[in-house]
């Protein structure tokens, strides 16, 4: 029983990693007043760019760089539409998602001729698991050995980086000058502008950070969690990250726990495939696949209460003339 629980938590960590990175990306963006429905598109675009570069150059690190560049580029397009031209944030985000969904398949078919996917990655083209010292030797130690060797050890570097980004984000948001200005821009951009600080500059910087984190999430999907890019492999993780962001009320630590909850539900759904329930029989695969999303909606609708985001979120900022 305990071993099964450890394996479930291990799967939760793996599944939650892209959600954590994407939710933190959305936190930076929305704390600055920019609604970012385009998280899904940035994850998918970076996943393709990372896998394609890793396949060509044979290096997961080069793939990661290309994935981040692709995601930051999409973030800047979103910023150009929403900040510079004061366009509708939702429309811009949906447009990015739609364009990327089609463009990744088109480019993969044109470049690799493999029906919307990239070549399988192996060796240095993937982020491999990191085994902690003495993990194998301590495996047989009751309780702690299993936790150390199976739960804490055996993940790739992007998993550890995702969890590390939570305290880093907390420190940036609440303990730095940039974080103070970021929160102020999301609450009262006119006051920030009155203090002589560029609202647009702060928001663009927030979107750059958002792009970097989404780039890490996408690269994780295609070069670590999987061995290449597949069509629509983000599978709604950007939207689930937004749900986790709302569930966590735009605060880093609660957002982490929301992502872990959603990841755990996903892990439970995977474990339930093929399980026979008395009186019902074997649960259909389709019902299992939709379970995390249904539970996400139920949790948001029934248990979160009223979530109040930053006051200036989604509102175009027009500089007042003297």
pLDDT bin (cut points 50, 70, 90) of residue 269 is: confident
- Please give the sequence-ordered ranges of beta strands (E in DSSP) within the chain, or none if there are none: 276-277, 281-282
User: Cα–Cα distance between 217 and 45 in angstroms, integer?
Assistant: 10
pLDDT bin (cut points 50, 70, 90) of residue 274 is: low
Evaluate if residue 321 carries a pLDDT over 60: no
pLDDT bin (cut points 50, 70, 90) of residue 247 is: confident
Average pLDDT over residues 60-68: 95
pLDDT value of residue 79: 93
Evaluate if residue 102 carries a pLDDT over 70: yes
pLDDT bin (cut points 50, 70, 90) of residue 304 is: low
pLDDT value of residue 294: 77
pLDDT value of residue 95: 94
Evaluate if residue 227 carries a pLDDT over 90: no
pLDDT value of residue 305: 61
pTM over 0.75: yes
- Which residue matches tokens 């929160």? 183
Q: What CATH number does domain 2-300 carry, 2.60.40, 1.10.3470, 1.10.150, 3.90.180?
A: 1.10.3470
């Amino acid at each position: 029983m305990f071993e099964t629980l450890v394996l479930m938590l291990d799967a939760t960590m793996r599944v939650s990693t892209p959600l954590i990175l994407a939710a933190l990306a959305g936190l930076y963006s929305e704390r600055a007043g920019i609604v970012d429905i385009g998280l899904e598109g940035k994850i998918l675009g970076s996943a393709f760019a990372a896998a394609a570069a890793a396949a060509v150059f044979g290096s997961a690190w080069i793939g990661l760089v290309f994935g981040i560049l692709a995601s930051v580029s999409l973030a800047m397009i979103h910023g150009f539409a929403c900040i510079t031209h004061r366009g509708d944030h939702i429309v811009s985000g949906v447009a990015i998602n739609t364009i990327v969904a089609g463009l990744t398949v088109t480019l993969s078919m044109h470049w690799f001729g493999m029906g919307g996917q990239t070549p399988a990655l192996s060796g240095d083209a993937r982020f491999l698991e990191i085994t902690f010292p003495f993990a194998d030797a301590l495996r047989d130690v009751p309780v702690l050995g299993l936790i150390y060797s199976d739960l804490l050890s055996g993940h790739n570097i992007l998993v550890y980086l995702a969890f590390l980004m939570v305290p880093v984000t907390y420190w940036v948001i609440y303990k730095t000058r940039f974080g103070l200005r970021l929160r102020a821009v999301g609450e009262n951009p006119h006051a920030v502008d009155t203090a002589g600080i560029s609202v647009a500059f702060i928001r663009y910087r927030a979107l750059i950070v958002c792009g970097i984190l989404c780039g890490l999430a996408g690269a994780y999907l295609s070069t670590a969690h999987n061995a290449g890019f597949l069509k629509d492999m983000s599978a709604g993780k950007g939207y689930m990250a937004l749900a986790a962001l709302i569930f966590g009320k735009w605060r880093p630590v609660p957002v982490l726990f929301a992502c872990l909850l959603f990841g755990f539900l996903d892990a439970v759904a995977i474990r339930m495939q093929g399980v026979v329930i008395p009186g019902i029989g074997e649960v259909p695969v389709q019902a299992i696949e939709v379970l995390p999303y249904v539970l996400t909606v139920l949790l948001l609708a029934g248990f979160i209460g009223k979530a109040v985001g930053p006051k200036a979120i989604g509102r175009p900022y027009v500089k007042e003339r003297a």
